[in-house]
Chains A and B, each alone.
Chain A
Amino acid sequence: MPLSPIQAPEEAPATSGGPLRLPFDPLLILAVVGLAVCSVVTLSSATRDLVPGQPRYYVDRQAVYLFVGVLLMAALSRIDYSHLRQFKRAIYALLMFSILAVLGLGHTARGSQRAISLPFFSFQASELGKVFLIVALAAFVVDRARYLREWDTTVRVMVAALVPAFFVIAQPDLGSGMVYMVIAMTLLFVAGTSWKQLSALIALGAVSLAVVLAGAPAMGVHVLKPYQVARLTAFLHPTTNAQKEGYQQEEAKIAIGSGQKTGRGAGATQVPLGYVPESHTDFVFAAVGEQYGFVGAALVLSLYALLIWRALRILTMSKDLFGSLVAGGVAAMLMFQVFVNVGMAIGIMPITGVTLPLMSYGGSSVITTLLAVGLLQSIYVQARASEALKGRVPLH
């Protein structure tokens, strides 16, 4: 029986003996599971003595967060992301509401108000806000797709990101605020905003950064808290600040350097003895570097490379612009966080309090990242379904 090209394509998979089709991107899953395992393994030794008498305190909680996050990711991957586009206003409202709620009734952790305590755990609105922002902004950009060359669109998108970013920085959570701006700019970039406008945005960003860090304090206006400015600039002169702001970074560098090629394993001292502050959250990469050395660090970085590659690949696979933009936003978020966080630990970037996705201990960060990966999965699944309808089977 000759096969007709117009044969219903959905039948073909059922009858063919083709390769097993998974309802998700296996490489993305590999990267996520790999990073989750790395996180648990690293935290199990790095946090052993953090809570006296409870060596597994952080590991158990992180495992639960990862498990819940993977469930949410699986659930999200089964939903067609394109439906989210119609809820863009509700999602943006939810983003603003949660951020303002934190400012209003959040509790203070280490001098900054970031989290709302819920009965089971406290969640950081600014973390979850990253996903909300990606979806809402992507939908907004798609709506304005025809007017992308206009300044008006660019300004509106940037304002829509700047408003929540401003309140997040006011919490103060400088790192997440910067992530918001990077997401917005990447969305515009992927959507096709002109190079001229993008260049102008970058120039404007550079000028405002200079004003915030140097200009305004000189005039007596403190946009950022003094400790934030000190942290941001400490990496520029590590030795003079070895006792103050540069201390964390210097100790993290010592931890990573002392790991050498294959790590110190059980002989590690910098992280287990507490010389690297926040070694389970912001400086978790120092724990990896010290215990598992260059080999371990390279493995973790390879998994991130895989993750980011898949995000960019899914961007190009997406059946529509909305999916491409969401994937681009997720890719930008991951790239920025990985580079800033790892760069901070190895002393080439300022201390900004950005978490290392999936590796850093913390429910908000883990679940946010896994939700973002869930969106990628959904885009992947929908793209494949759409390809199958067109008779093409996207596999990887």
Chain B
Amino acid sequence: MSTIERLRPSEPRTPVSPQLALRVAVLGGVALVMFGIIFFRLWYLQVLTGEQYVQQANANRLRPLAIPAPRGQIFDRVGQPIVSSRTTNAVQITPSALPPRGAPRIELYRRLGHLLGMSPRHIQALVAKSRAAVPYAPVTIKTAAGREVLTVLAERQNEFPGVSQQPVSIRAYPYGEMAAHVLGHVGQISVEELKQSAFRGVTQGTVVGQEGVEFYYDRYLRGKPGAQRVEVNAQGEAVPARLPVTQPKAGYSLKLTLDLGLQREGEAALVQGIGLANANGNPADAGAFVALDPRNGQVLAMGSYPSFNPNKFARPLTEGEYEALVGEHHHHPIPGVPPPLEDRAVSGGYPTGSTFKPITAMAALEAGVLSPGEALGGGQCIHVSTEQFCNAGKADYGALDLVNALRVSSDTYFFEVGERSNSHGEIIQHEARALGVGEKTGIDLPEELTGTVPDRAWREEVAREERSCEHRKHVASCGISDGRPWSVGDDMHLAVGQGDLLTSPLQMAVAYSTLANAFTHQGEGTVVTPHLGLEIDDSQGGLVRTLGATSKRHVHLNYSDLSLVMEGIHDATSQPGGTSADVWSGWNQAQHPVYGKTGTAEHQGQSDQSWYMCYIADPTRPIVIAVTIERGGFGDQAAAPAARLMASEWFGQAKKLVHGGNKSF
């Protein structure tokens, strides 16, 4: 038996009591259930929902780190750089690669501080601050460290563990204050901007355009930031890992319609015009100029004085610096100090003085209330009811026809036109608006003036506002309106560009462009949309798209009437007694006939504002120039000479600053 058992071994048959067998079976059953639960749970976690946990694990360890894209350059119309992005090496610290806390790290900060000219404490503070914000990102210690420092760091890398160099892009405006209002500046995107649709897809910390074309064309200029993913451990420290990097896509470059030479000359001429005004005893301190191509609205030059240096915005401004830019002191405007940030060419709202007269003339002629040969405006003053309306310096030009009235800028003539127009409805207002005054021009800038061409409805509207304001605030007057109804005097003031008229140099340039291109097209005028963008190119120079708005609308002007108006303002620049004939003395009128009108806008309690508007004909390079100088005196004395300097630059003529002596409005 035992042999058989030995040869055919069987399971041992220990005397297990039924009770023990049951209890062991229960234990085994518990174990079975236990393993069943664990296996089921594992199957659920790893096989059924595993993908979701892979994503969670990746979200745990991978942190995106944006690589800023180089911002596109900005060129003038022929491709000369105006704004560029300078690449420099920034000194950075990678916190996870630093030596251990305590003495070795402090020693490193001391050495680095010595090299960079910074205090070790400052470096430590920078690292601590940045780690708190973005724990895994390298900390920029200094952006422009200089070549020598960078060389030292590169050569003695082992002495500076955790310190590295990273190319960074810095916006550079090499011409400083030139065209600052047009170009704008850049800065980190603000919390408000992040919510705007214009910045959709832009991440926090990205540098975007803040004003001017930098803002308007930001979506082309900003490019697409690259993405680097950093693997971090549970302590939030970056660990070295080879992860794919998406390279940033450089922004497109923007070619502007600006002519660099004309722009620089315009800025200089404006300063010289202000100088002339100051020499005449006028406290001129601000002004603006616009040069348009009247055929298509391309802005050839545009500037505002005083200006600012956009390079200042490369780092955050101090409170004082910001207040200086907006002309404030402790949140209160400083009286008599023009704020540099204000763009007077686009957003400045002014009466225009006599530069408005060609519009009045066209309106009256078109409406048939004036015949060109009619002699009007004799005497020093015009009397309407109890008011009297006089020429500048109580001059008496005698009764003149239209052409001569424009040549000498007879106010009495235009007061009579205004009085007569008023009895025929709002014909001046209608014409002004048709030509482009009192409405947004549509220029490619973030802000511009709407302006006001006053009429009966506008008067009622402001009177209503005044009443509700007085009622709301319980004051005697809010200063919005004196509450009087529209009167003939309003139209007479408007006829000479005074009264409640508010328009910008840019709007006037559009109106003169309309006159100019109607004049060259037998009365078929185009109201152009002024624009600064010419084309968008990629970083290799390939054309991405051309910019330029379609013209707003067409106007039909009676060509013979228009010719008379143009003759009048041409005589003003070329004939004896013409308001700007002195300024244009020596100009080759045969080659480049000038159609120009001075303006002197009166402001209560202030020196007069000097205006000059002109159109200079040329088969290929026609130009409309608008210049205004606040507190600059007569148009002929400050603005017109500046316009001539710009024209000389544009047509390659010898520059000649001529001080006009005409004292008409």
Comparing A75-83, A131-139, A293-301, the segment that makes contact with chain B is A293-301
Within the complex, the shortest CB–CB distance from B546 to chain A, in Å, comes to: 50
Q: How many residues of A contact B (CB 8 A)?
A: 67
A318-353 Cβ-contact flags toward B at 8 Å (1 or 0): 110000100010011001001100110011100000
Q: Is the CB of A9 within 8 A of B38?
A: no
Within the complex, the shortest CB–CB distance from B565 to chain A, in Å, comes to: 78
- Chain B hits for A16, CB < 8 A: 3, 6-7
- The interface centre, meaning the residue of B9, B34, B46, B234 with most chain A CB atoms within 10 A of its CB, is B46
Q: Is the CB of B53 within 8 A of A253?
A: yes
Q: Is the CB of B45 within 8 A of A343?
A: no
B78 an interface residue at 8 Å Cβ cutoff?
no
Interface residues of A in 264-303 (CB under 8 A from B): 269-270, 273-275, 277, 289-290, 293-294, 297-298, 301
With A3-B3, A18-B7, A294-B43 in contact, do A260 and B31 touch (Cβ < 8 Å)? no
B158 an interface residue at 8 Å Cβ cutoff?
no
- Chain A hits for B58, CB < 8 A: 269
Residue of B nearest to A2 (CB): B3
Q: Is the CB of A260 within 8 A of B54?
A: yes
B139-183 Cβ-contact flags toward A at 8 Å (1 or 0): 000000000000000000000000000000000000000000000
With A16-B6, A18-B9 in contact, do A273 and B14 touch (Cβ < 8 Å)? no
With A301-B35, A392-B5, A396-B11 in contact, do A275 and B42 touch (Cβ < 8 Å)? no
A119 an interface residue at 8 Å Cβ cutoff?
no
A213 an interface residue at 8 Å Cβ cutoff?
no
Q: Is the CB of A394 within 8 A of B53?
A: no
Q: Is the CB of B45 within 8 A of A387?
A: no
A176 an interface residue at 8 Å Cβ cutoff?
no
- Chain A hits for B53, CB < 8 A: 253-258, 260
Q: Is the CB of B2 within 8 A of A3?
A: yes
Q: Is the CB of B2 within 8 A of A7?
A: yes
Residue of B nearest to A17 (CB): B7
Interface residues of B in 25-69 (CB under 8 A from A): 26-28, 30-31, 34-35, 37-39, 41-43, 45-47, 49-54, 56-58, 60-61
Question: Total A-B residue pairs with C-beta atoms closer than 8 Å?
Answer: 172
Within the complex, the shortest CB–CB distance from B554 to chain A, in Å, comes to: 67
Residue of B nearest to A318 (CB): B14
Within the complex, the shortest CB–CB distance from B4 to chain A, in Å, comes to: 9
Q: Is the CB of A190 within 8 A of B239?
A: no
B1 an interface residue at 8 Å Cβ cutoff?
yes
With A190-B24, A289-B42, A339-B34 in contact, do A261 and B47 touch (Cβ < 8 Å)? yes
Comparing A122-130, A153-161, A309-317, A367-375, the segment that makes contact with chain B is A309-317
A71 an interface residue at 8 Å Cβ cutoff?
no
Q: Is the CB of B31 within 8 A of A394?
A: no
With A254-B53, A260-B54, A274-B234 in contact, do A294 and B47 touch (Cβ < 8 Å)? yes
Within the complex, the shortest CB–CB distance from B22 to chain A, in Å, comes to: 10
B317 an interface residue at 8 Å Cβ cutoff?
no
Interface residues of A in 6-45 (CB under 8 A from B): 7, 9, 12-13, 16, 18-19
Determine the distance from Cα of A186 to Cα of B2 in the docked complex, in whole angstroms.
37
Residue from A273, A298, A324 in contact with B239 in the complex, judged by beta carbons closer than 8 Å: A273
A305 an interface residue at 8 Å Cβ cutoff?
yes
B20 an interface residue at 8 Å Cβ cutoff?
yes
B21 an interface residue at 8 Å Cβ cutoff?
yes
With A269-B231, A274-B234, A294-B43 in contact, do A305 and B19 touch (Cβ < 8 Å)? no
Determine the distance from Cα of A273 to Cα of B14 in the docked complex, in whole angstroms.
53
Residue of A nearest to B32 (CB): A305
A192 an interface residue at 8 Å Cβ cutoff?
yes
Within the complex, the shortest CB–CB distance from A131 to chain B, in Å, comes to: 19
Within the complex, the shortest CB–CB distance from A103 to chain B, in Å, comes to: 33
Q: Is the CB of B2 within 8 A of A316?
A: no
Q: Is the CB of A269 within 8 A of B9?
A: no
Residue of B nearest to A340 (CB): B34
Q: How many residues of B contact A (CB 8 A)?
A: 51
Determine the distance from Cα of A9 to Cα of B61 in the docked complex, in whole angstroms.
66
Residue of A nearest to B1 (CB): A5
- The interface centre, meaning the residue of A9, A258, A315, A318 with most chain B CB atoms within 10 A of its CB, is A258
With A269-B60, A273-B232 in contact, do A343 and B38 touch (Cβ < 8 Å)? yes
Q: Is the CB of A260 within 8 A of B9?
A: no
B235 an interface residue at 8 Å Cβ cutoff?
yes
B522 an interface residue at 8 Å Cβ cutoff?
no
Q: Is the CB of A258 within 8 A of B56?
A: yes
Residue of B nearest to A305 (CB): B35
B586 an interface residue at 8 Å Cβ cutoff?
no
A interface: dominant SS: helix
Residue of B nearest to A13 (CB): B6
Residue from A18, A189, A293 in contact with B46 in the complex, judged by beta carbons closer than 8 Å: A293
Q: Is the CB of B233 within 8 A of A387?
A: no
Residue of A nearest to B19 (CB): A192
Q: Is the CB of A305 within 8 A of B31?
A: yes
Q: Is the CB of A258 within 8 A of B6?
A: no
Q: Is the CB of B234 within 8 A of A331?
A: no
Within the complex, the shortest CB–CB distance from A160 to chain B, in Å, comes to: 21
Determine the distance from Cα of A43 to Cα of B620 in the docked complex, in whole angstroms.
82
Determine the distance from Cα of A391 to Cα of B58 in the docked complex, in whole angstroms.
63
Determine the distance from Cα of A59 to Cα of B35 in the docked complex, in whole angstroms.
28
B interface: dominant SS: helix
- Chain B hits for A93, CB < 8 A: none
Q: Is the CB of A275 within 8 A of B234?
A: yes
Q: Is the CB of B233 within 8 A of A273?
A: yes
Q: Is the CB of B38 within 8 A of A395?
A: no
Q: Is the CB of A328 within 8 A of B27?
A: yes
Q: Is the CB of B56 within 8 A of A273?
A: no
Within the complex, the shortest CB–CB distance from A311 to chain B, in Å, comes to: 9
Residue from B28, B42, B46, B61 in contact with A273 in the complex, judged by beta carbons closer than 8 Å: B61
B475 an interface residue at 8 Å Cβ cutoff?
no
Q: Is the CB of A297 within 8 A of B42?
A: yes
Within the complex, the shortest CB–CB distance from B97 to chain A, in Å, comes to: 13
A259 an interface residue at 8 Å Cβ cutoff?
yes
A308 an interface residue at 8 Å Cβ cutoff?
yes
Within the complex, the shortest CB–CB distance from B648 to chain A, in Å, comes to: 71
Within the complex, the shortest CB–CB distance from B286 to chain A, in Å, comes to: 58
Determine the distance from Cα of A146 to Cα of B175 in the docked complex, in whole angstroms.
107
- Chain B hits for A12, CB < 8 A: 2-3, 6
Interface residues of B in 223-242 (CB under 8 A from A): 231-235, 239
B16 an interface residue at 8 Å Cβ cutoff?
yes
With A18-B7, A257-B46 in contact, do A339 and B38 touch (Cβ < 8 Å)? yes
- Chain A hits for B2, CB < 8 A: 3, 5, 7, 9, 12, 391
Determine the distance from Cα of A328 to Cα of B26 in the docked complex, in whole angstroms.
12
Determine the distance from Cα of A37 to Cα of B641 in the docked complex, in whole angstroms.
96
A95 an interface residue at 8 Å Cβ cutoff?
no
- Chain B hits for A201, CB < 8 A: none
B12 an interface residue at 8 Å Cβ cutoff?
yes
B23 an interface residue at 8 Å Cβ cutoff?
yes
Residue from A257, A290, A293, A319 in contact with B52 in the complex, judged by beta carbons closer than 8 Å: A257
Within the complex, the shortest CB–CB distance from A152 to chain B, in Å, comes to: 20
Q: Is the CB of B56 within 8 A of A254?
A: yes
Q: Is the CB of A383 within 8 A of B31?
A: no
- Chain B hits for A332, CB < 8 A: 27
- Chain A hits for B231, CB < 8 A: 269, 273
A353-396 Cβ-contact flags toward B at 8 Å (1 or 0): 00000000000000000000000000000011001000111111
Within the complex, the shortest CB–CB distance from B40 to chain A, in Å, comes to: 10
Q: Is the CB of B51 within 8 A of A190?
A: no
Residue from A186, A255, A256, A319 in contact with B27 in the complex, judged by beta carbons closer than 8 Å: A186
A5-B1, A275-B61, A301-B39 given; name 13 further pairs at CB < 8 Å.
A9-B2, A12-B6, A192-B23, A269-B231, A273-B61, A274-B234, A289-B42, A294-B43, A298-B39, A328-B24, A342-B38, A383-B14, A394-B11
Q: 9 closest A-B pairs (Cβ-Cβ)?
A: A257-B53, A394-B12, A260-B50, A274-B234, A273-B233, A258-B57, A258-B53, A294-B46, A257-B45
User: Can you list 17 A-B pairs, Cβ within 8 angstroms, ordered by A?
Assistant: A16-B7, A190-B20, A190-B24, A254-B56, A254-B60, A257-B45, A257-B49, A269-B61, A270-B61, A289-B45, A297-B46, A301-B42, A305-B35, A335-B34, A346-B41, A346-B45, A392-B12
